[in-house]
Chains A and B, each alone.
Chain A
Amino acid sequence: MTALRRLFFVVVGLFLALPLIVVAGVSINARQTLAFPPQGFSLSWYGQIFTNAEWRNALIASLTLAASSALLALLIALPLAWFLWRRIAPWANIFQLLGVAPFTLPPVITALGLLTFWATTGFYGQAWTAVISHGIFFVTLPLVTLSLGFSAIDRSLVEAAATMGADDRVVFRTVVLPLILPYLVSGYAFAFVLSLNEYIVAYMTVGFTVETLPIKIFNALRYGYTPTMAAVTVLFLVIAAVVFGLVARFGDLPKLLGAMSDER
Chain B
Amino acid sequence: MRREPPQRLAHYGPLFFPAGMLTVFFVVPFATMIAVSFFQRQQGGFYTPAFVFDNYARFLSLFFGKVLGFSLFLAVAVAVACVVIGIPFTYLLSRSARKIQIVWLVALLSILSLSEVMIGFAWSTLFSRTAGITNLFVWLGLMAQAQALTPSFGAVMTAMTYQAFPYTVLVLYPALVRLDPTLTEAARTLGASPVKAFLTVVVPALRNTILATLIMVFIFALGSYLLPQLLGRPQHWTLSVLITDQAIYQSNMPFAAAMAVFLVLVSLALVGLALYAGQQRQAK
Q: Which residues of A are at the interface with B, using a C-beta cutoff of 8 A?
A: 1, 5, 8-9, 12, 15-16, 18-20, 22-23, 25-26, 33-36, 75-77, 79-80, 82-83, 85-89, 92, 95, 98-99, 101-102, 104-117, 119-120, 132-133, 135-136, 139, 155, 158-159, 161-162, 171, 193-194, 196-200, 204, 207, 213-215, 217-218, 221, 229-230, 232-233, 236-237, 240-241, 244-245, 248, 253-254, 257-260, 263-264
Contacts and interface: CB of A to CB of B under 8 A. Distances in A.
B225 A254 contact: no
Interface of B: 1-6, 11-12, 14-15, 17-19, 21-23, 25-30, 32-33, 36, 85, 88-89, 92, 94, 98, 101-102, 105-111, 113-119, 121-123, 125-126, 128, 130-133, 135, 162, 165-166, 170, 173-174, 177-178, 194, 219, 222-223, 225-226, 230, 240, 243-244, 247-248, 253, 256-257, 260, 263-264, 267-268, 271
Given A19-B123, A87-B3, A116-B32, A107 B115 contact: no
A86 B109 CA distance: 31
A83 B101 contact: no
A107 B117 contact: no
Contact of B248 (A80, A83, A196, A204): A204
B1 A158 contact: yes
B264 A217 contact: no
A9 B6 CA distance: 51
A151 B195 CA distance: 37
B15 A254 contact: no
B3 to A, nearest CB: 5
Contact of B117 (A1, A26, A98, A214): A214
Contacts of B110: 237, 240-241, 244
A38 to B, nearest CB: 9
Contacts of B17: 75-76, 79
Contacts of B33: 109, 112-113, 116-117
Contacts of B18: 76-77, 79-80, 83, 95, 99
22 contacts: A18-B126, A18-B133, A20-B111, A36-B132, A98-B23, A99-B22, A108-B263, A109-B33, A109-B267, A110-B26, A116-B29, A136-B25, A161-B1, A193-B113, A218-B117, A240-B109, A240-B110, A240-B113, A240-B114, A241-B106, A248-B102, A254-B177
